[in-house]
A = this chain, B = another copy of it.
Amino acid sequence: MSVTREKILELGENLIRTRGYNAFSYQDISTELGIKNAAVHYYFPSKENLGTSIVKTNIQRFDEMVDNMHSRKFGEWQQIETFIKIYVKSHREQKKCLVGSLSPDYNTLNATTKIELKRMIEMILKWLTELLEKGRTQNVFSFNEDPASKALSIFSSLVASLQLSGIMDKIDYKSFYQSILDDLKP
């Protein structure tokens, strides 16, 4: 794959995660990369195309993370810690997550981007639900809600925490992330 193409994908993702889908333009990308507007269109004919590719890349990254954790025989506790670390890292980098950035603009996205975003959220919730379920039967986790509700609750908290962290500085996010884990302790 072309280096320029990868740079566009990376920069596009960063722009979505810092400014939002409808606030970034091909101009932003071409200026930053020192190329012309049309060069971006060469790799991604339309913005729909670029947006969809960015979401697909993120889905792939999530898949790879899950595969990697399985092959390294991570336990349930290690897995949820690894998952939460994604958000700790995003917070450190002052970026929202892709889901939190694209979801409010969902009604304005193109059909293919909508499909991929929905698929991404479904995948995350499915994985998290199954992890919580398995962890509870093995006494690694403890909670009263049904696993799907608990998964939604944890995921929502993580997504929204990043959105608010860009605005509120004084909040203690470290202990916020810790309390999500503490809450699952048996």
The interface of chain A, by Cβ under 8 A from chain B, is 18-20, 22-23, 96, 100-101, 103-108, 114, 117-118, 121-122, 125, 144-145, 148-149, 152-153, 155-157, 159-161, 163-164, 166-168, 171-172, 175-176, 179-180, 182-183
Contacts and interface: CB of A to CB of B under 8 A. Distances in A.
A8 to B, nearest CB: 20
Contacts of A153: 157, 176, 179-180
Given A107-B18, A179-B153, A163 B159 contact: yes
Count the copies.
2
Q: Which 9 A-B pairs have the closest CB atoms?
A: A156-B160, A160-B160, A22-B22, A103-B163, A23-B108, A159-B160, A22-B23, A156-B157, A20-B105
Contact of A22 (B20, B117, B125, B168): B20
Contacts of A125: 168
